[in-house]
Structure 1
Amino acid sequence: MADPELAALAFRAAPLAMMALGDRRILAANAAAARLFGWPEAELTGRSVRLLYPSAGDFRATGERWLSVLRSRPDHVDERFMQARDGEVFWTRVRGRTLTPENPFERSVWTFERLETGGAGGGPSTLTAREREIAAHVVNGRTSKEIARALAISHRTVEVHRAAILRKLDARNAAELVTRIVVAG
Structure 2
Amino acid sequence: MTQMDLAFMYAPTGLALTENRIVRQCNLRFAEMFGAEVDSFRDMPLERLYPSLKDYEKVAHVGGDILRETGRYEDERIMRRLDGDMFWCRVRGTSLTPDDPFRQGVWSFADLSAERPVVELTPRERDVAILTCQGKTSKEIGLTLGLSYRTVEAHRARLLQKFGARKLPELVAKFSGMPI
Q: Do Structure 1 and Structure 2 share a fold, with TM-score over 0.5?
A: yes
| TM-score, structure 1 as length reference | 0.64
Match of 1:51 among 48, 61, 71: 48
Unaligned stretches of 5+ residues in structure 2: 122-156, 165-180
Aligned residue among 63, 66, 75 for 2:63: 66
Contact preservation (8 Å) 2:25, 2:42: yes
- State the SS of the aligned residue for 1:101: coil
Q: Which residue number in structure 2 is paired with residue 161 of structure 1?
A: 161
Q: Cα 1:159–1:81, aligned 2, differ >3 Å: closer, same or farther? A: closer
Q: Measure the CA separation in 2 of the matches of 1:163 and 1:108.
A: 35
Q: Normalising by the residue count of structure 2, what TM-score does the alignment of the two structures yield?
A: 0.66
Report SS of the residue matched to 1:138: coil
Residues 1:21 and 2:3 are matched in the alignment = no
1:31 aligns with 28
Tell me, yes or no, if structure 1 residue 138 matches structure 2 residue 120. yes
Picking from 38, 56, 76, the partner of 1:41 is 38
Aligned-partner Cα distance in 1 for 2:99–2:83:
36
Letter in 1 for 2:115: T
Question: Are the counterparts in 1 of residues 26 and 42 from structure 2 also a CA contact under 8 Å?
Answer: yes
| Greater relative contact order, per chain length (Cα 8 Å cut-off, separation 6+) | 1
Structure 1 ranges of 4+ moved more than 2 A: 157-164
Q: CA deviation at 1:163?
A: 9.2
Report deviation, 1:101.
Answer: 1.2
Cα shift readout 1:146-185 (whole Å, capped 9, x = no counterpart): xxxxxxxxxxx97743499xxxxxxxxxxxxxxxxxxxxx
RMSD: 2.5
Match of 2:85 among 84, 88, 100: 88
Which entry has the higher C-alpha Rg, 1 or 2?
Answer: 2
Aligned residues of 2:119 and 2:163 also touching (Cα < 8 A): no
Q: Give the % identical residues.
A: 30
| Structure-2 separation of matches of 1:50 and 1:76 | 17
**1:86 CA drift (Å):** 1.1
Q: Distance in 2 between matches of 1:69 and 1:47?
A: 24
User: What SS does the aligned partner of 2:100 have?
Assistant: coil
Gaps of 5+ in 1: 119-132, 140-156, 165-185
Q: In the TM superposition, what is the alpha-carbon distance from 1:15 to its structure 2 partner?
A: 1.1
* CA shift for structure 1 position 39: 1.7
**Number of aligned pairs?**
130
